[in-house]
Amino acid sequence: MPKRRAAKKQQAKPSLIGRCKEWCTMRRLIKLGVIVIAAAIIISLASYAVSVRVKLLFDTETHITISPSIKSIAVPDKTPPEVTFTTTVEHLRVCDLSCTHALLDAANDEVVSQVVKPAGKDTATYALPLTDEGAGQAIFSYTVTCTTADKGLCPSKGKTYTKTAFVTVDHGMSEEERGQQVLLRSWLVEEAARLASIQESYANSTFILDALWRHANVDEDVIAAALLGAELAEAEREQANIIGSWGEERYDEAERALEARRGTLDELLAATKALLSSSSRKLEEYNEAVSALSQAHQSRSVINGIAGLLTAANDEAYQSLLVANSTYTTIAARPADHGPASLRRAAASISEAFDEAVVAYEQVIDARGAAERRIKEDYFSAVKARNHTWPGDGCAAYEELLLLLNGTDAVRIEEYLATYCAPQQAVSFFAAEPPPHATPATPSPVIPVSIPEPEPQCCYQGRCKPCDTPGATPVILVHGHSFNRAASPELAFTRLSSLQDALAEDGYVHAGTINAEAAINEVPPGTWGRVPAPVVVSVTYYYLNYYDLGKLSFITRKTDSIEGYAIRLKEAVDTVREKTGSEEVIIVAHSMGGLVAREYLSLFGDEHVSKLITLGTPNHGVQGDIRKYCTLTGAERECDDMAAGSLFLRRLNSPGNVPGHAEVYTIRAEGCPTRTDAGTDDQGDGVVLAESVVLGFAEENHVVEGECTDLLRTSLHMDFVNPERYPETYAIIRGILRRD
């Protein structure tokens, strides 16, 4: 028995060679297993990488939706309205996101609220502050900005995504403001009347001074008037500014300015009254002197008659008349060389000389009468004794009497003739025309400035304008072809969000997105046109609109032809025109969106489009792999339309189908090898050939140099419209828009 057990035991024990074979087989199996597992991991990672790249081409790793994306509210006063925003952030699980939710008072460019929240679904209610004075419109932007963290397998570390909602609030005034408005108006009316009175006094003064300067060379008050005029002009500017503040509903500012200038108007009123009094007095003095000189001119025949009777015995009075006549003649020749005081003295001296001459004349008459009486007493009997007739009185008679008496005892007669009959120098007194009176022009009545009704103000980023002022041309962003038929149209909006954000930073109003989350039917016509800046809004042709129980609803339709999309684009264009009140829009369209826009122009005319800017649009079709695989990810009908040589493109590019009103611009990217139908690579953006973008009738065809950064060599088609990655593209777009 023991031997049998030992034999069995020896039989069971493997040989050394067998044991080696066993071990080698096991090692091979282990190595094969490791290889298989490693291969599986590599394939899995490669598949993941490819799937992520494909997803990033056809989709994005982050979607943000905000509801409502557009909203319009109206309140009768300043009660802050409430609005609730629901935000949903969807993203790849391998990426961590940090999201900032910010409510911005866009009218005043002030942040109302800002908070960081995790990605996911969030609901927040805000009371929108209405801090502007008066009635008008406030606008708010609610922006969600999400940034991917620098984490392991996340394909886009540090990338930022944004979504913005747009809210307008049309509001009235508070009760306090209404009361302030009534009081301020009465104050403005009173101040306008005071300033009009000052203006009228000043105008009268300047006209008087002008007349005095022209007629009498008076310039004593000219400098004072000029200084006062400068102060009055400043007061008029202040009044215009105050009325401007009133008209723009800045009531506190207008009230402070009125209070500050009350003393100024009091000083101006006193100064203008003093100037008017001084100039009026000088005018009166001048015209009184001119009247005296005119009186002398009118009395020249009398004076000449008196002067003719003055003899050497009255030489002093005669000499005074000569001096007065010389003064008068000088003044009449150049009246402007003599001021009112000189004229007044001249008139007084002339009047005095005239009075002296009259007195002397009367004395001569009296003396002459006495002399004649004495002659009669001495010689009447002698004439009679010689049997002569008395010749009479006067110089001729006494000369005849002297002859009759033959000089005998004729001393009295000779004295009479020498004293009263000696001729004076022949002078024509006061013959020249007297200077004219100074007659100032009559100023037109000064009507107080009317106080206009204040206009409700609409503001953006601190810039305000009356709400009824026609707005600038709105900009519509139109997305391109959706590579994923199953994806939400929100993806299409995402591709142009960076462009919309850049325009908003450049002064455009970010009016959000007309999508299923927009309460667009609640926005009254013209609401967006009240904003003092052009709006930029994203639209889609993938929504079919319809009304359900009075509410505007949307369904997604992504399987139509480009012609069908163009019909829906018309709905979007008409909606934007209605909400802005603008006759025209500017369309900026990416990729297939440019074809949709061109088809819209072809179907409905271009009278409502001022500019069309296309970005990477395959105006002559797509070729190669893009054409071949388009239907794998996109709708068949739109892919057929985009194929190079398609019936749609032949019709769209026919010579007669050229816009007559709208200016068309194209922008293309080059830097990625793009496959042609011939199987060769040519210049393009990886999706669209560069030559396919160019339009012969375009105003300008621009090119942007770039590069591909992905394995599929198609990223440039998407990237070159991003202002952060390709600022040169945005510079071209901005330059074209600024020509509007």
User: Residue 635 pLDDT > 80, yes or no?
Assistant: no
User: Residue 54 pLDDT > 90, yes or no?
Assistant: no
Q: Give pLDDT, residue 482.
A: 63
Over residues 192-198, the mean pLDDT reads 92
Instruction: Provide the CA 246 distance to its chain's centre, in angstroms.
Output: 18
More confident residue, 186 or 12: 186
- Cα–Cα distance for residue pair 715/374, rounded to 1 Å: 142
Phi then psi dihedrals of residue 297, to 5 deg: -60, -40
User: Residue 3 pLDDT > 70, yes or no?
Assistant: no
Q: Give pLDDT, residue 559.
A: 54
Q: Give pLDDT, residue 21.
A: 55
User: Residue 47 pLDDT > 90, yes or no?
Assistant: no
Q: What is the band of 354 on the pLDDT scale with cuts at 50, 70, 90?
A: confident
Following CA atoms 486, 487, 488, 489 in sequence, which dihedral angle do they give, to the nearest 10 degrees?
-100
Q: Write down the number of H helices and E strands in the chain.
A: 20, 21
Helix (H, G, I), strand (E, B) or coil at 366: helix
Q: What is the band of 105 on the pLDDT scale with cuts at 50, 70, 90?
A: very high
Q: What is the band of 48 on the pLDDT scale with cuts at 50, 70, 90?
A: very low
In whole numbers, what is the pLDDT of the chain averaged over residues?
84
Please report, as a single letter, which amino acid is at residue 549.
Answer: L
- Cα–Cα distance for residue pair 76/302, rounded to 1 Å: 88
For every residue of 580-612, DSSP letters joined together read HT-S-EEEEEETHHHHHHHHHHHHH-STTEEEE
User: Residue 550 pLDDT > 50, yes or no?
Assistant: no
User: Residue 33 pLDDT > 80, yes or no?
Assistant: no
Q: Where are the domains of the chain?
A: 2-56, 175-293, 300-420, 472-740
* Superfamily of segment(s) 472-740: Alpha/Beta hydrolase fold, catalytic domain (3.40.50.1820)
For 276-286, give one letter per residue: b (16+ CB within 10 A) or e. Answer: bebbeebbebb
Following CA atoms 571, 575, 577, 580 in sequence, which dihedral angle do they give, to the nearest 10 degrees?
-170
pLDDT above 70 as % of the chain: 84
User: Residue 327 pLDDT > 50, yes or no?
Assistant: yes
Q: Give pLDDT, residue 15.
A: 56
Please check whether residue 717 is in contact with residue 489, taking contact to mean a CB–CB distance below 8 angstroms. Answer: no
Please check whether residue 155 is in contact with residue 59, taking contact to mean a CB–CB distance below 8 angstroms. Answer: no
